[in-house]
Chains A and B, each alone.
Chain A
Amino acid sequence: MIRTLTYAEALNEAQVQCLEADENVYVIGLGAPDPKGIFGTTIGLREKFGSDRVFDMPISENAVTGMAIGSAITGMRPVLSHQRIDFAIAAMEQIVNQAAKWYFMFAGQSSVPIVIRMIIGRGWGQGPQHSQSLQAMFAHVPGLKVVMPATAHDAKGLLIASIEDNNPVIFIEHRWLYGLNSLVPQEKYSEPLGRCKVIREGTDITIVSLSYMTIESLRAADMLEDSGVSTEIVDIRTVSPLDWDTIFESVSKTGRLLVADTGTMSFGVSGEIIAKCVENLYGKLKSSPNRISLPDLPSPTSSSLAKTYFPRAVDIAELALSSFGRNLDKKWWKLEEGVRLDIPNTNFTGPF
């Protein structure tokens, strides 16, 4: 059976089905069993599976990560959640030194099947320590898989695949996606890690995007369509390992590339993708590749700063058209006048 679920519901269902399917799976995170259930993604799990499979935790991110690693190498499959990626970096030591290296440094004798969910976001004054987008930091470390689903369908399938994977997976969710719907099959299914997905076909330009920027890219593609530009969108889904074949195939076809990332620009995902495409497809590029990301600046809190800091569909479309030497029709910018840009929708009223 297939029906619409929100991204948050899809993540919840993935955890339910993994807890049902494998007695070694357990869920742990600050607030996992509390009434809000990590933005709804863990609501009801304690009631269904009990307090010996669904755990809250002390504010001890590094120790709990190490504990999860220890349980993983001895047969368990922990799903550890952090309400902000900013809290997870308190556990950077365990993640980078232990989880990422364990399999390698002991020559494959023991692996670490752990999923660490981390939440990124934008807007409503989350500010410098509550809205960083640090996927590149994790993707920089060999031995970590980094997954960033954009749709409810992929959220479920990729979370199941991540839990079933034998390696440490950093699973990054964007808060502005939680309320978005897509068609989600009821049965347990997995989407392969390390595979991008062409989610819109086109012929003139390729936008390679991830997470929430895929949603903005889809909007941008409509604006581009209106300007007579046919856009292909490749949703990254897994930042590391990255599926170069799919990206190369699309860019070879269109000859134009724009990368849309949620992180700050320098030394990030967009730079890596552009570098690899230039290295491999130099002769096929019709214009120099472009990228949209955050400026190299910590996330500011003020709503007025958020407006210029966080890029949107219009920015993507404008930049995409620039590689054709054209400008975006002013009407698209006009549509944004008076719209509050630091909230995902008008139902959002804070406080966090």
Chain B
Amino acid sequence: MSHCLICYERIVPQVTWTNLLLPVKEAIICSECKEKLPILAAPLCEGCGREMTEEGFCADCLKWQQDPQWKRVPITNHSVYPFQPFMREVITTWKYRGDYQLIECFQEELLHAFETFFYKKEESLTLVPIPLSNDRLIERAFNQAEALALLINKNIQVEVVHALTRKSEEASKQSKMTRKKRLARDNPFTIKKQQSKPVILIDDIYTTGMTIRHATKILLESGCPKVTSFTLAR
């Protein structure tokens, strides 16, 4: 008998006529939790990957495209799950409380979505996880974006490259008011390894899109021909 990775409740294997004679595949999460984690359904925004009522770009993306500072940094983001309250809870436990193992409950949908969006379209894929600052990394003991990239790497033929580093967050921590402004101006990333082939940025959540844009911008400026992104939640 296994336990649900999210709610710890016992999972009773469902025996039906179709799986009666097959070895039972152990479920990682219970059916109630699974139901509370729906995946994004088309149509999706062509820019940020959020759910839409019709095809095209969402209002946010259109705004970004008119921003003089950002209009030359086009982004194409794909995500797996909508960032709804239950997903927020699970990600909080995973990332901030540090329950590393929760990543397993995303595996199936993550790999499936990755294959649909990327696998068949391009030949060689390079994944670049969004880095954490060193202090953060020590505090959390793992980088959630790197964990996602490695999970894909373990199952699908892709390369994971740590092309970026993140500056210390000490300065921006001190004042919350100016943080938003500073975020827009200062790029938190520096290039660690130049990329000459297209890359896919990997992160856990796409919220405002600022992080992905900064990373895309610096990669393009340093000679990377194309940057797309893939996040767990949107």
To the question of whether A and B form a pair in one complex, the answer is no
